[in-house]
Chain A
Amino acid sequence: MIRAVIVMNTQGKPRLLKFYEFQPPEKQHELTRSVFAVLSGRPDNVSNFVEADAIFGPGTRLVYKHLATLYFVFVFDSCENELAMLDLIQVLVETLDRCFKNVCELDIVFNFNKMHTILDEIIFGGQVLETSSERVLKAVEEISRLEKSSSSVSFVPKSVSGRFGR
């Protein structure tokens, strides 16, 4: 199963953390930091795989993708196929890209609640739920409609988020 999904920036700031096995906050923080320490030391053009035994316990693997200022990290055990996990990261990224129209870190920072919604449509309790980003998008749009109709909540458009950003 997938143990954790971590999205963080290249400075090690967490942008999305989801642990499918409960971890107390200080532990989450520590794990995130250890992952960052490993990833930040890796050069470009190397494999996307890292053994995570030392961080998440025996038999765990970590697959990551480094895109612009972000690391997308999936941690999982030996029951999953590494490359399939890498593909799933790609599905997540493609979905975010469609959802936010050229996603950038700011979208993710200010819409971290939306990130949870999207992730919940792709991974469910540590298992792959949906692999078609069209379907994920459809489900997310449906949820957005519901949110809007029952109150006036929408996710923050990029132009606005820029106002708050540095």
Chain B
Amino acid sequence: MALTGMRGLSVFISDVRNCQNKEQERLRVDKELGNIRTRFKNEKALTHYKKKKYVWKMLYIYMLGYDVDFGHMEAVSLISAPKYPEKQVGYIVTSCLLTENHEFLRMVINTVRNDIIGRNETFQCLALTMVGNIGGKEFSESLATDVQKLLVSSSCRPLVRKKAALCLLRLYRKNPDVVNIDGWSDRMSQLLDERDLGVLTSVMSLFVALVSNNVEAYWNCLPKCVKILERLGRNQDVPQEYTYHGIPSPWIQVKTMRALQYFPTIEDPNTKRALFEVLQRILMGTDVVKNVNKNNAAHAILFEALALVVHLDAEKEMMSQCVALLGKFVAVREPNIRYLGLENMTRMLLVSDVQDIIKSHQAQIIISLKDPDISIRRRALDLLYGMCDVTNAKDIVEELLQYLNTADFAMREELALKAAILAEKFAPDLSWYVDVILQLIDKAGDFVSDDIWYRVVQFVTNNEDLQPYAATKAREYLEKPVLHETMVKVSAYLLGEYNHLLARRTGCTPKEIFIIINEKLPTVTTSTVAIVLSTYAKILMHNHPPDPELQEQIWSIFRKYESYIDVEIQQRAVEYIALCNKGAALVDVLAEMPKFPERQSALLKKAEVAEVDTAEQSAIRIRSQQQTSNALVVTDQRPTEGSLPVSQLGVVRMPSGKMDQTSFQDQGMTKENGVITEVVPQDVPPADLLGDLLGPLAINGSPATAVPVEQRNQNLLSVVEATPEAAGSLALTTVDNQPNSIQPIVNIAERFNELCLKDSGVLYEDLHIQIGIKAEWQAHHGHIVLFLGNKNTSPLVSVQALILPPTHLKMELSLVPETVPPRAQVQCPLEFVNLRASRDVAVLDFSYKFGTAMVYVKLRLPAVINKFLQPISVTAEEFFAQWKSLSGPPLKLQEVLRGVKPLSLPEMANLFTSLHLAVNPGIDTNPNNLIACTTFYSESTRATLCLIRVETDPSDRTQLRITIASGDPTLTFELKESIKEYLVNIPTQTSSAVVAPSQPQSPVTPVAYNDPGAMLAGLL
């Protein structure tokens, strides 16, 4: 029996196999390792053959999961052995055991090079394989040229060349400089002409790697790829050994189509036509056959073709064909095809116009949600999640809820989260949303994260109409004998806040509610006890007329917890007892929680984070990243005493803008007591609707410091408040105040002031982002484009822009993309309509995430009153006629300003010009005075003439007298105050900001048939 050489190895393997347990195996392995170690150490003249045997044993031991921390040197040294078998072992074992940076590799680099440039093909192959598996940067530098030579050599056998191609790919990954782009696009193009399909397989992989890094350089290869597809598609010149189950190399076909997906588009019409013919043939000619392998291969090609069609944004007809095919696949029995059908349909969701067809397969997809294969169930869940919108949310979410009962544990958390997100995003009405979340908690409490129930509490708190409903539901759930603890938390919280709303219903007296909650108390953990104690305190407050028995019961519970081991609970108990003795103050302290300031749902944020996937560079992915956008959230705040009721506009993805306005309003909006959930389609936001919703607001422009620490603080505090435990507690919470680490690199206040005087420029800039502005103003309309420029090479994520519009501006906002791609600039247009005169400023609440750092800034938008002015020249007669008719306050106001920035008259004229005030020389005879006229535009008043007169004192430039007149008292006042701000606190860079003076002060001519100076004096 020719067991000569490897007998020792076979015996060893056999021994290991015969070990009864892990312990025996370890002993055997240790013994062998000891043996090998001794041999390597003591027998200096170990033959190559023996070394080989031991090295194989090492690899076997390594595979079993034992660390082999010696003998690497011996393995590496075998590479230099003269004979093939030893050399082979050396190469194979080295590439399994060592990392690319291992120092031993450096020692053999010359041997490897000699093998590569040597004449022995088998040595070449071994060396290439090792380098291709573990070659690092050093190999790349010293071997790339030689490997390239092998690849393009005409004398090398395909066996060597195909390895050279992939070896080069590895070296290119380690050091992209090894492939010189200029020379390579032609070379690549030639390589793609390769007839040998083995070599072509490797070349195509190399091509995909090159093209994924630099599409531009390889446009010339595009027709070649199409040719390859044609050749394989027609089965021309394909040797039998490369037809796999009758299909010409499916791998090359798939890879070629993958490569084509890196090209953004195909411009040449002939190439395009040829490609579409190929694709058409694939789409039409693929049938499900009996042979599993053939089926797989054919569908591998088909699915890649589908992806390519989607990427190329083919005509609608072809797209529908694809969706039809996918529709067929999601219904087939063959699990692999169904799996990929579901996956590709999810990808198809990015294509506009096909959503409706996809929706028609909803029932079929739901069936896959119950498939025995978890992989398929996951795909189905993803697809349902992706295809959900307001039209089918109810069906899908209810289906998910039902599935939750039987779903395997591995999926429940994801399922619960997705159901919660969909319910929030697409709720047709809020009570349904509450139902869904409570059901979720009831059915899968363990898998419902705190975020989910915090969110429902936020919604209920902010929506008065919802409160009785939610309280009733909570009360109903408490009837259940077994209740998940999270449900106890929500119910206790809701009933604490709103038990008084149920007062007249049966079983809902404070006492009854107390009793039913108290039944749960013994079984819950401390975090729930804390909430329950707060609930009791609140019940006590609503205990009217006082029920002494209830009071005593609650007090006794408080007293019991007064000495509880948990300090939080102890504190609550102590404080609530103290509060009870305060009498009337109790009512103030324990009043209902104020509404939460609106912010993005933590859930949605979570979902977004999960969606960020950097692994794939595919063209589709890149495009889809650019497409997915996150809606602007508009908050509408009305000041009430201390608390800010917030009506919330959740913006929702609509089914491709197909709905008309009415159905849009019916389905997308529910208006409940001034609380509006509004849905804005991505395409065309209905202008009026939005405008109306942003009703009267009153927000004063906040100081545009980059990161107002106080603001941050408030934010943090409000976050803390949002968690109901903290909210209910009286215990002081310390908040870590972490100001932004990213600081702006421009003076934001200065920028704002500048932009008040001109229409384009930089509003904000920091290390990562630059926000530029370009504005156009026409009468009472304004159009601002925000340019968000990412300065980095990595994307900015979680980009959010929140606009706080003041009451006098109607705003229409476009969508802000959630991600700003690297080095890209995104434009976000904003539309303004001026309703009336006001100096309030719109504030842009902007935030983004870079790495782990969240950056928040508040920026004032320069949509200020003077932007809605249009300069107008009037004659002296017109002026005086107006001036006279507007007599005295409130239409005409006068003020003496002191502490004015000293400005010469021409400078002041320039300032006025940039404020859109037309300086009218020659009306006032006094050369130290300035007359300016302008028209103010607003939706309510249209054009209103405003007249301004400034009287300066040449001896003291720091004081002046300003008189302003217009037909609207508010306008007069606001304009006066606004101009005053500019005069008293002139922006530092005024001179650079001001456009060239358009109307230089011409010398005043005193020759007038009427003495205007005297007239003016009389009028004033």
Interface residues of A (CB under 8 A from B): 14, 16-18, 20, 22, 24-26, 28-29, 32, 42-43, 45-51, 57-59, 77-79, 81-84, 86-88, 90-91, 109-110, 112-113, 116-117, 120, 124-125, 127-132, 134-135, 139, 142-143, 146-147, 150-154, 156, 160-161, 164-166
Q: Whose C-beta in chain B lies nearest to the C-beta of A46?
A: B373
Q: Known contacts being A51-B375, A127-B205, is A25 close to B67, with CB within 8 Å?
A: yes
B219 interface residue (CB < 8 Å to A): no
What B residues does A128 contact at CB under 8 A? 201-202, 205, 251, 255
Q: Would you give the 0/1 interface string for B824-854, flagging 1 where the beta carbon is closer than 8 Å to chain A?
A: 0000000000000000000000000000000
Q: Name B163's contact: one of A129, A150, A154 (CB within 8 Å).
A: A129
Residues A49 and B14 in contact in the complex (CB < 8 Å), given A79-B208, A131-B242: no
| Interface residue from B1, B244, B336 paired with A131 (Cβ < 8 Å) | B244
Name the CB-closest residue of B to A154.
B2
- CB pair B375 A47 closer than 8 Å: yes
**Complex: how many Å from CA A83 to CA B134?**
27
Q: B64 interface residue, CB < 8 Å from A?
A: yes
Q: Tell me which residues across on chain A come within 8 A of B88, comparing CB atoms.
A: 117, 143, 147
CB distance from B448 to the nearest CB of A (A): 21
Residue among A79, A88, A116, A154 making CB contact with B251, cutoff 8 Å: A88
Q: Which residues of A contact B83 (CB under 8 A)?
A: 150-151
| Nearest CB on B from A154, distance (A) | 6
B613 is an interface residue with CB less than 8 A from chain A? yes
Q: How far is the CB of B899 from chain A (nearest CB, A)?
A: 61
| Nearest CB in chain B: distance from A90 CB, A | 5
A45 touches which one: B3, B296, B335 (CB < 8 A)? B335
Beyond known contacts A87-B297, A124-B129, A128-B251: 13 more, CB 8 A cutoff: A25-B67, A49-B375, A59-B613, A83-B300, A86-B300, A87-B300, A90-B293, A110-B10, A120-B92, A125-B169, A125-B170, A132-B197, A143-B88
Which residues of chain B are near A112, meaning CB under 8 Å? 13, 59-60, 63
Residue from A117, A132, A151, A166 in contact with B92 in the complex, judged by beta carbons closer than 8 Å: A117
Expressed in whole angstroms, the Cα–Cα distance for A124 and B166 within the complex equals: 7
Contact yes or no, B336 A132, CB < 8 A: no
Please give me the residue from chain A that is nearest to B82 by CB atom.
A150
For A132, the chain B residues whose CB sits under 8 A away are: 197-198, 241-242
List the count of A-B residue pairs having beta carbons below 8 Å apart: 207
Q: Is the CB of A139 within 8 A of B159?
A: yes
Q: Tell yes or no: B751 within 8 A of A by CB.
A: no
In the complex, what residues of B have CB within 8 A of residue A154's CB? 2
Contact between chains at B372 and A43 (CB < 8 Å): yes
1/0 per position for B192-208, CB-CB distance to A under 8 A? 00000110011001001
Residues of A within 8 A of B258 (CB): 79, 81
Nearest residue, chain A, Cβ from B169: A127
Residues of chain A with a CB closer than 8 A to B166's CB: 124-125, 127, 129
CB-defined A-B contacts under 8 Å, sample of 29: A14-B63, A22-B98, A42-B373, A45-B335, A47-B336, A48-B336, A78-B618, A83-B303, A87-B251, A88-B251, A113-B6, A113-B92, A117-B88, A124-B132, A124-B167, A124-B202, A127-B169, A128-B251, A128-B255, A130-B201, A131-B198, A131-B244, A139-B159, A146-B122, A150-B84, A153-B4, A164-B14, A164-B17, A165-B14
Contacts of A147 in B (CB 8 A): 84-85, 88
Q: Which chain B residue shows the least CB distance to A142?
A: B122
With CB as the reference atom, state the residue of chain B lying closest to A19: B96
| A26 close to B17 (CB less than 8 A) | no
Min CB gap A78→B, angstroms? 4
Main secondary structure on chain B at its contact with chain A? helix
Q: Which of A20, A51, A83, A120 contacts B296 (CB 8 A)?
A: A83
Once A22-B134, A46-B335 are accepted as A-B contacts, the answer to whether A116 and B373 lie under 8 Å apart by CB is no
Q: How far apart sit A28 and B3, CA to CA, in the bound complex (Å)?
A: 31
B65 contacts A26, C-beta separation under 8 Å? yes
| Known contacts A153-B5, A164-B13: A25-B66 contact under CB 8 Å | yes
- Report the separation of the CA atoms of residues A91 and B249 in the bound assembly, to the nearest whole angstrom: 12
Q: Is B49 an interface residue (CB 8 A)?
A: yes
Please name all residues of chain A whose beta carbon is closer than 8 Å to the beta carbon of B68 when the two chains form the complex: 25
With A116-B92, A131-B249 known as contacts, the answer to whether A22 contacts B100 (CB < 8 A) is yes
A84–B254 touching, CB < 8 Å: yes
- Cα separation A32 to B63 with both chains bound (whole Å): 10
Check A29 against B65 for contact (C-beta < 8 Å): yes
Indicate the member of B56, B296, B614 with the most A CB atoms within 10 Å.
B296
Q: Nearest CB to that of B60 among chain A residues? A: A112
CB distance from B506 to the nearest CB of A (A): 50
B3 engages A156 (CB within 8 Å): yes
The answer on a CB contact under 8 Å between B250 and A84 is yes
Q: Is the CB of A109 within 8 A of B5?
A: no
Smallest Cβ distance from A67 to chain B, in angstroms?
12
B300 lies within 8 A of A120 (CB)? no
Q: Does B538 touch A at the CB level, under 8 Å?
A: no
A116→B62 CA distance, assembly (Å): 14
Any chain A CB within 8 A of the CB of B916? no
CB nearest to A148 among chain B residues: B85
Across the interface, A46 reaches (CB within 8 A) one of B14, B296, B375, namely B375
Interface size on B, residues (CB 8 A): 86
Indicate whether A125 sits within 8 Å of B10 (C-beta atoms), given known contacts A28-B65, A81-B303, A153-B5: no
Q: By the criterion CB–CB under 8 Å, are A47 and B201 in contact?
A: no
**Shortest 10 CB-CB distances between A and B: which pairs?**
A29-B65, A83-B300, A59-B615, A164-B14, A46-B373, A47-B335, A125-B132, A132-B241, A153-B5, A134-B241
Closest-CB distance, A76 to chain B (whole angstroms): 11
A16-B293 contact in complex given A82-B340, A153-B6, C-beta closer than 8 Å = no
The reply to whether A166 and B18 contact each other, CB–CB distance below 8 Å, is: yes
B11 interface hit (Cβ, 8 Å): yes
From 283 to 314 in chain B, residues with beta carbon under 8 angstroms from any chain A beta carbon are 293, 296-297, 299-300, 303-304
B4 touches A152 (CB 8 A): yes
Contacts of B304 in A (CB 8 A): 81
Do A22 and B297 touch (CB < 8 A)? no
B543 within 8 A of A: no
B14 to A, closest residue via Cβ: A164
A156 to B249, Cβ gap below 8 A? no
Q: Which residue of B lies closest to A43 (CB)?
A: B372
Q: Specify which chain A residues have a CB less than 8 angstroms from the CB of B297 in the assembled complex.
A: 83-84, 87
User: Is the beta-carbon distance between A81 and B254 smaller than 8 angstroms?
Assistant: yes
CB of B407, distance to nearest CB on chain A (Å): 15
Q: Is B500 engaged at the interface, CB distance under 8 Å to the other chain?
A: no
List B contacts of A134 (CB < 8 A): 241
Whether B487 sits at the interface, judged by CB under 8 Å, is no
Q: Which of B13, B299, B303, B373 lies in contact with A47, CB distance below 8 A?
A: B373
**CB distance A130 to B198 under 8 Å?**
yes
Q: Mark B357-383, 1 if CB is under 8 A from A, else 0.
A: 000000000000001111110100000
Contacts of A78 in B (CB 8 A): 615-616, 618
Q: Is B433 an interface residue (CB 8 A)?
A: no
Tell yes or no: B133 within 8 A of A by CB.
yes
Q: How far is the CB of A56 from chain B (nearest CB, A)?
A: 11
Query: A108 CB to closest chain B CB, in angstroms?
Result: 11
Q: Would A25 and B62 count as touching, CB distance under 8 A?
A: yes
Cβ-defined partner of A129 (8 Å) among B9, B202, B250: B202
* Binary contact track B1-27/A, C-beta < 8 Å → 1, others 0: 111111001110110011000000000
Chain A, residue nearest B212 (CB):
A79
How far does the alpha carbon of A131 sit from the alpha carbon of B241 in the complex, in Å?
9
Cβ of A142: which chain B residues have Cβ within 8 Å of it? 122
Q: A25-B65, A109-B13 are in contact. Are A135 and B241 (CB under 8 A)?
A: yes
Given A78-B615, A152-B5, A84-B63 contact (CB < 8 Å): no
| Interchain CB contact under 8 A, A160 and B1 | yes
**B339: CB under 8 A from chain A?**
yes
Provide the residues of chain A in CB contact with B10, threshold 8 Å: 110, 156, 160-161, 164
Which chain A residues border B299 with CB–CB below 8 Å?
83
Per the 8 Å Cβ criterion, residues 450-486 of B in contact with A are: none
Tell me the complex Cα distance, A97–B872, Å: 92
Chain A residues, CB < 8 A from B162: 129-130
* A116 CA / B477 CA spacing, docked (Å): 62
